[in-house]
Structures are given as C-alpha cells and as structure tokens.
Structure 1
Amino acid sequence: MPELAEPRFLDERVAHWAATKPVDEAITYLSRTWTWSQFDDRVRRMAGALTARGIGRGDVVGFLDKNHPACVEVTLAAGSLGAATTIVNFRLAGEEVEYVLNDCGAKVLFVGEEFVATVESIRDRLPGVSEVIEVKPEGGDEYEAVLAAATPAERAADLHTDDTVVVMYSSGTTGRPKGVTISHANLIAHTVNAFDEWPFRDGDKNLVSMPLFHVGGTSYMQFGLYNGAASYMTRDIDGAALAGGILAGCNRTFLVPAVLATVLQAGPDAVALFGALKTFSYGASPMPLPLLREALKAWPETDFIQVYGLTEVCGVATRLGPDDHRGDNQDRLVSAGKPINGVEVRIVDPDTLDDVEVGKQGEIWFRTKQLMKGYHNKPEATAEAVTPDGWFRTGDIGRLDEDGYLFVEDRIKDMIITGGENVYSIEVERILAEHPAVVEVAVFGVPDERWGEAVKAVVALQEETPETELIGWARERLAAYKCPKTVDVVEALPRNPTGKILKRDLRQQYWEGRERATV
C-alpha cells in the first residue's frame, strides 16, 4: 500500500499500518495487546456487526464506559459506515445519560459492566436503543462474542468526508448538554495540524489516559493511529496507571494540570519516573504558574506543550511550545501561545462585532477546517455560535499581543472549568433551584490550587438547610464534578435594576488580586 499523504477517513491509517507493519504493537490495554493487523481486523469485524444490526449512514451508536479500546474500535467501525458514535460521559447521572442517548438518537449502546445498572435504571426510557451490548475491561464478554461472530465489512462505498463520525456532548448554556457533531474531515484536520512540529518518531509510544468522552482523549488518541505509533491506554487517570504506561515505554502524553500536580506531590520516585517523557502536553484548564515552574524545574529534559481550544474545534486551536516554556519572556507562560497551522484567530468586540486593536480585550473567534459541523439538532444554537462566513464565536474573552500570542483572560459564557471538565453554572443552578428550601441561587467558579476552579454556590433560603443537604441533593442528580464543593447562604442575591443576578459582584471577593489565567 502506498504511503498516505493525508487520509480522508479515520480508519484509513489503521488499514495502512496493518498492511505495512502487521505484527507491530498497535494498542496495549491492561493485560492485552493488539497488533496493527489484529486491531484492523477487529475494526472490520465491528463494522460487520453494526451492519448486521442495521447501522448505516446517518445512524448513531452510543458508548458508555471508562477508557477502553473497544470505544476506538466502535468509533472507527461506525465511522467507516457513515455512522457516528456518541461517547457518553461515564460520570453523568442516570437522568443525564438518558437525555444524551435520546437526544443523539443512539440505536445500539455499548456499556461497560460498571455502568450496566445505570442503563438498566433508565432502559424503559430509551425507546430508540434496540440493543445493549456489555463490555468488560479484560474481555470474555458479550462484546468479544459479537466480534467473533461477525463477518468483516469494508468501508461503505458512499462514505463522505463530511459525514459525522463523533458526537461529543458539551454542557449547554440552557441547562442541557449540546451534541457537538464532528466529521472525518474535522478530526483529520485537527490531527494533521495540532502537533505538526512534534511528529511521533520510531519507538515513540503514546500514553492515552484522558477520558475518551473528552476531545483530550478521543482527539489525542488519533495522533498514535495517524503516525503508526503504539498506544498504551489506561482505564483511569491515577498514579499507578500512569506509572505503568511510562514503565511500558510511553514517552508522549496529554494530561490536565491537576494530574501533574498529583505527580509532583507523589515524591521523588514518581518525579524521576515521569522524567522519561519526551513531550508533556497539557490543557483543558489553566496551569497555575507556581505548578508550571515547579514542573519545568523537575523535568528539565521534557518538552512542555500547552494547548488551548474547545470541543467545537476538535480540541487544539492554539499552542505554546517548548521554546516559549523555557525562554526568557516568562510573561508568555500565562499565554495560550499562537494559533496552530490551519487556524485563523480574531479578537472581536462582542457588541460591535468589529476587530479590536492589538492588546485590547474582546471575544476570541476561530476559523478552521477543524470546526464542527454544528450542534446536533440545534440549528439556532449553531447559528449563534458560527457566523455565515465560518467564524466560531468561542465565548471566551482574550487579547493578542504584538507578537501574535493569545492570552485567554475570562469567559463570556457562564462556564466553570474544573480539572479539565466544563461545567455550566446554569445546569447546576437548575438542579439546586428545585430544592424546596432554595429561593434563589447563583453558581460560579472560585480559585482552586489543584483543580484550577471549584464549583461554588451562593443561595438564599426560605428555611434553614445544611450545606451538606444541598450538596447531597445535587450529587443525586448530577455528575460529581458538577456539584458545588461549598455553599454560602445569603439573605438575598445582588441584582441590577433589571433584576439580573450580579455574579460578577459575587465572584469578585474570591478572584480579587488573581489572574484567571494563572489560578
């Protein structure tokens, strides 16, 4: 098979490596390893299994589990048929899982054994799901039986690069998550652009630990597949799992800053072990400057790469490279770097929609082939986010300096980023407002040295209620990371003359004297 300059579909590179180096390691997960030939065969068998279940172009399948190579196999297989995979956040509560699966229209659902009970509790409210297939971490499960019984199927003849391949659900400003529809062309453009200056070399091994329901997991996984590098996937993001990957030869990874903080606190042996990393990419939440400086000192031979972006652009839009991390201009450490190849950026006055002067704040806009097709079944939300000429309005406030470095300084959208996870306060407010004792509520992010931000709620109550009860109420209805860590009680929330709650006034006491980009 000739060398591929640039694939058109996600499964093409896997087929290429299966033909050119069939017995080389492709993926290792827990106690199992698959060669490129074996991995390609599993993708083709899954394509056959889905075809036998009536899955074709325009359909959607769901996957609910912690990290598992089966998720990658299903994504590539469904994508090769013109179908999409919705990778469900395994941290969601049952009601949230129900909404996502019904909204995306999933017809077949793959579910990890840890989450079978969640699905069973809502099964009668999933009318579109015709079959649920269980997946276990070590195999010997229904999923493996389905593969074994399947007849391999080739890529669909009518497949188009603009076909949706992944639907990633991101919390929505209306209190419900929005499905971000990503095509083959979007994801391949991201793969080609994001780490073009740091390609994988022979012998490199990719450590994939970020959850696959996040672009930091699914998009990052593509780099190993694209470059033909072996990938080591962990089920969880914990010290033992990460250490196991590095001991197995991994020298490339992407993680959120909170994980890095845990490593540095684990002692000299852990710090020494992580020194084996050739590149350490981080993003999804701000890196506290003291933590970053400590990491640069601890790992002098490691190239640090910060990335900034959003699910809507498949992940990375700007990048701060190794030279800037260790250069003389330390002010750049709080920047998000420069746009990657294939990404245009503008800083726009959100009221006039005119570009602002260099150094002035405005809304960050991107234009790129990486940009999503739109929000699933939400044309109005798509039209609000994407201009007719293709510019994506991020909702983030930032500025460009005279050298073209982007500084992300605030957010228009009422969103909290905690440990790399996006939390829209209105979603949390909707749940807390349902508590019988709550009269009014405001939720926002406050500084947290480990997670970047923590969720804080301020409430006015009609009767005395313990903080623990309110937090517990939220935990029964929301994923744990979305729930407030602390709750303050006030007589009344501050409002402007039109009655709008003044969150900025509430936040101010917590953020005073801090830069958002450095917390």
Structure 2
Amino acid sequence: MNTDTIPGMVLAAGDRFGDAEAVVDGPLRLTFAELADRVRTAAGAFAAAGIRKGDRAAIWAPNSAEWMIAAFGLHTAGGVLVPVNTRFKPDEAHDVIRRSGAKLVLVQQGFLDQDYPAPEGVLAVDLKGGFLSDGAAYEADVAPDDVSDIIFTSGTTGRPKGAVMTHRQTLRAYTEWCELADLREGDRYLIVNPFFHTFGYKAGLVASFIRGATVLPVPVFDVDTVLDLVERERVTVLPGPPTLYHALLEARQGRDLSTLRVAVTGSADIPVELIRRMKHELPFRHIMTGYGLTEAGTVTASRPGDTFEDIATTVGTPCDGFEVRLGDDGEVLVRGYGVMQGYLDDPAATAEAVDPGGWLHTGDLGTLDENGRLRIVGRKKDMFIVGGFNAYPAEIEGYLTEHPAVVQAAVIGVPDERMGQVGKAFVVPRADVSADELIAWSRERMAGYKVPRYVEFRPELPLNATGKVMKDRLQ
C-alpha cells in the first residue's frame, strides 16, 4: 500500500507505533497494530458488500472508534468517504447521500434520540453491528491522486455542496498541521470536533495517525464528560471552538487539568481576554488558531511566539503551498495545492467558486496586516449596509463579547425604513445587563452605524455541530 495515501499511512502506523494506544472509546482500547488489523478486515467487508475502487460510501454517525475503523477501512478498500452531518434531519441527509452516489451508508441508530434511515435504494449498515468485523483482510491498490473523500459544506446558508479532495492533498496539509499544532507521538488527543467535519476527520483522525497520538472520541460535547476524560486519561491535546474553553474556565475548579498542553481554536470573534485566560488560568503551553474551509482545508495558522492579540484577532499567516490575497471588495481569495478538485457534479458552482487563475473565492471578508496576518471580519452574505456604510457582524460581535456580562453574541441586519438596515444583536448573558445598557456601552466603543439598534437576550444561540451560529434560525 502506497504510504502517500491515507490507508497506506494508517496501515504503516500499525507498524510504526505498534503497541501504543491508537484509540480509547469507553471500555474499548485498541493499539495501532490492532486497529490496523481491524481496518484491513473492514476493507474486506466493504469489498464483500460490492465497494470497488472509486465507489462511495457514507457514514452518518457520531464520533466513535467504529467511525474511524469504517472510514479507514473504506479507504483501504479503495472507496471514497462521504461523511454526513449528524445534526441533519433525514430529508437533509438523504439529499446529500443521494447526490453523492453512495452505495451504502453506515449509521448509528438512536444517537440524539434520532433514527437514521437510509434513502430508498441505498443499503443501510449498522455501524455498531458486526459488519466491520465480517470481512477477510483486504487492501486495494490506492494511488495518491485518487479521490479520498467528498465532504459537503455545512449548509448554514444554501444547499450543501460536495468538495472533492485527494489523498495527496490531505496528507500534505495535515502533516504540516501537525508541526504547527505541535502534535507529538504519544499525545492523548480528545476530539470533540465531529468526525464528519474536515477538522475532526483530518486535523483529528488523520493527524493522530501521522504522529502516533491516541484518539479519544467524544460524540457530544458535555463539559463534565470532557473534564472527566482529561483527568482520567491524562489528555494533552484539546482543540475546540471558543465556547469549549469558556466552559472549561467556568467549570475547572477542583479538577486536575495539568496534562493539557495544546489548544487549537478558530473563529472570527475570539476575545483577546479569552486567549490570555487560557494561557494563564489553564495549563496550555501552545495555543494555535487558524483559518480553514471545506474547499481547501487549513489555509492559515498562527505561529509560536505570536502575541495574545495576534492569536485572538488574526488567523495567522498562510501555510506552506498557499497564497492568500484580498479581492477588490475585501473577499479572501486562496490559491494552492489544497484547493479542492471541484464540487461534485456541479461545474457551474465550481466555476463560480474557483476562477480561471485558480483562486478560490471563499465568501469570507478579511484584512491583511503588514506582517501578512489574515483577519476574518465576516461573511459577504452576512454583511449589511447601514445608511451606506458596510457593517460586518463578526467585528460587532467581537466588541460585544468584550462586555463582562456577555458570554456570546450574534448580530444580523434587519430592515429599517430610514437607514435601509440596522444591526440586531442576539446575546447570551452571564450577568444582569439591559438592552439599553449594552447599546450605550457599544456607542462608546464603535462607530454609530455599527451599534446594534436592538438587543434580544437568549439562554443560548442555535449552533451547528461545528459550533457556528446558525443565523438563519435567528431571523
């Protein structure tokens, strides 16, 4: 098996790391050698089910050891992985599965009290049943430039589109990611980020096998569960959205978190104070932030020695092999080896996203400082215009979360007869504060057109499974 492919790398990890733990999932503990054997057996099961080189199969299930074995087993059989968002309702999932052309879908029934039926004509396989262990060891001939996966965009706006990637692209990108994140052999890596997302699957599973780190999969974020695992399993690496670290800071009293070494986060609105507290009140010695997207993987990252402000307010500088520039309207444009092969069966959307010069138009708005650090200021579609001035929700949200009574904020534009649009803020408070107080506080810190005219308090904001606010559900 070619080691420049995902299955080749995974099977080689069985030899390289042998008896070291590859995964700890509840009572299940597997070494790298044991997991490699299970992956070969799963590959045989896929082959027996009719999966040939280039055929697609979907996994619609939460993080687990079985998810890993299924994904890598499918790759080893020469198949193409289609991860499906566990938060999707059946109609949403069926749309993705059908359009992907998947021959079968592996599901875990009952997760979040939901059934996971397959679309008509597609074989449904129980991920926790005997399928994965029901084959004869098998390895297909897989090449580096073969398609490895088709990951559909999160679909918070518009219909999800499937980004096509190869083995070579993935391994190059996440080998560098391991360096930037300081992931080491023997690390114990708790993965809250869902495996169906590029981060959980590639910066999580693939990176762990590149380096020989133990994976601890978590199917649903619960702060007590995470704290228990950190203590009991001596976790060293804990990536997640800013909300995860806020929760850790609130609930850490009386807990032994001394083994934590690496944090990785990313967002347009990380408060500098959060990064400072993570560094001084939690044991993290390396905090990385970055910018990535389904269509290109990790594009930029912070570097060792960056200040709190650099880490919180920018997403770092371009990774090796990537170029980043800004369009005339401030849109972030990306070019490099990691840009997708295209959207599955959608040449029109591909041509709209990737121009003839090879530049991917991300839909994100940004700025570049004198050192080449990228700052994300919002989404083109999120931007609203107040009396002729462009207002960027991410920037306004960043200011609002600096208020001591605000845990989280999301801002959208709403119609206004005089100004065209004005801002409305949805705020999760941590202490008593009135809308008038928050608006007055905002007027002292930002230009008048940026100040929200309306504030609505919520106990929580609607988040997708990757921690992003679903703004279409706020309106």
TM-score normalised over the length of structure 2: 0.79
For residue 186 of structure 1, report the CA deviation from its aligned partner. Answer: 1.9
Amino acid at match of 2:31: T
Match of 1:386 among 327, 330, 354: 354
Match of 1:162 in 2: 145
Task: State the distance in 1 between where 2:92 and 2:411 align.
Answer: 19
For residue 457 of structure 1, report the CA deviation from its aligned partner. Answer: 9.0
Tell me: CA distance 1:180–1:397, structure 2 relative to 1, closer, same or farther (3 Å).
same
Task: State the distance in 1 between where 2:114 and 2:86 align.
Answer: 12
Q: Contact 2:278–2:284 at 8 Å: present in 1 too? A: no
Match of 2:243 among 247, 258, 274: 258
Tell me: CA distance 1:51–1:301, structure 2 relative to 1, closer, same or farther (3 Å).
closer
For residue 414 of structure 1, report the CA deviation from its aligned partner. Answer: 3.9
1:342 maps to 2:321: yes
What is the 5 A alignment of 1:65-464?
A: 65-115=61-111, 118-120=115-117, 123=118, 126-129=119-122, 131-136=123-128, 142=129, 145-154=130-139, 156-157=140-141, 159-172=142-155, 175-220=158-203, 221-247=205-231, 248-270=233-255, 273-284=256-267, 286-299=269-282, 302-314=285-297, 316-326=298-308, 330=309, 333-350=312-329, 362-414=330-382, 447=397, 449=401, 453-454=409-410
**CA deviations over 1:15-73 (Å, ceiling 9, x no partner):** 22222342221111111111111111111111111111111123211111111122222
Q: Contact 2:56–2:103 at 8 Å: present in 1 too? A: yes
Q: Contact 1:336–1:407 at 8 Å: present in 2 too? A: yes
Task: State the distance in 1 between where 2:407 and 2:359 align.
Answer: 31
Tell me: CA distance 1:287–1:67, structure 2 relative to 1, closer, same or farther (3 Å).
same
Task: State the distance in 1 between where 2:106 and 2:253 align.
Answer: 41
Task: Tell me the percent identity.
Answer: 28
Tell me: CA distance 1:406–1:117, structure 2 relative to 1, closer, same or farther (3 Å).
closer
Task: State the distance in 2 between where 1:149 and 1:336 align.
Answer: 45
Task: State the distance in 1 between where 2:413 and 2:61 align.
Answer: 30
Q: Which runs of 5+ in 2 are unaligned?
A: 385-392, 427-438, 451-468, 470-475
Match of 2:54 in 1: 58
For residue 506 of structure 1, report the CA deviation from its aligned partner. Answer: 4.4
Task: State the distance in 2 between where 1:173 and 1:261 align.
Answer: 24
Task: State the distance in 2 between where 1:148 and 1:173 align.
Answer: 36
Tell me: CA distance 1:59–1:451, structure 2 relative to 1, closer, same or farther (3 Å).
farther
Task: State the distance in 2 between where 1:495 and 1:374 align.
Answer: 42
For residue 456 of structure 1, report the CA deviation from its aligned partner. Answer: 6.1
SS of 1:195 mapped into structure 2: helix
SS of 2:94 mapped into structure 1: helix
Tell me: CA distance 1:284–1:68, structure 2 relative to 1, closer, same or farther (3 Å).
farther
Tell me: CA distance 1:262–1:507, structure 2 relative to 1, closer, same or farther (3 Å).
same
Task: State the distance in 2 between where 1:195 and 1:149 align.
Answer: 34
Task: State the distance in 2 between where 1:391 and 1:452 align.
Answer: 33
Name the count of aligned residue pairs: 416
Q: Contact 1:398–1:406 at 8 Å: present in 2 too? A: yes
Tell me: CA distance 1:287–1:275, structure 2 relative to 1, closer, same or farther (3 Å).
farther
RMSD: 3.1
Task: State the distance in 1 between where 2:48 and 2:407 align.
Answer: 45
For residue 190 of structure 1, report the CA deviation from its aligned partner. Answer: 1.4
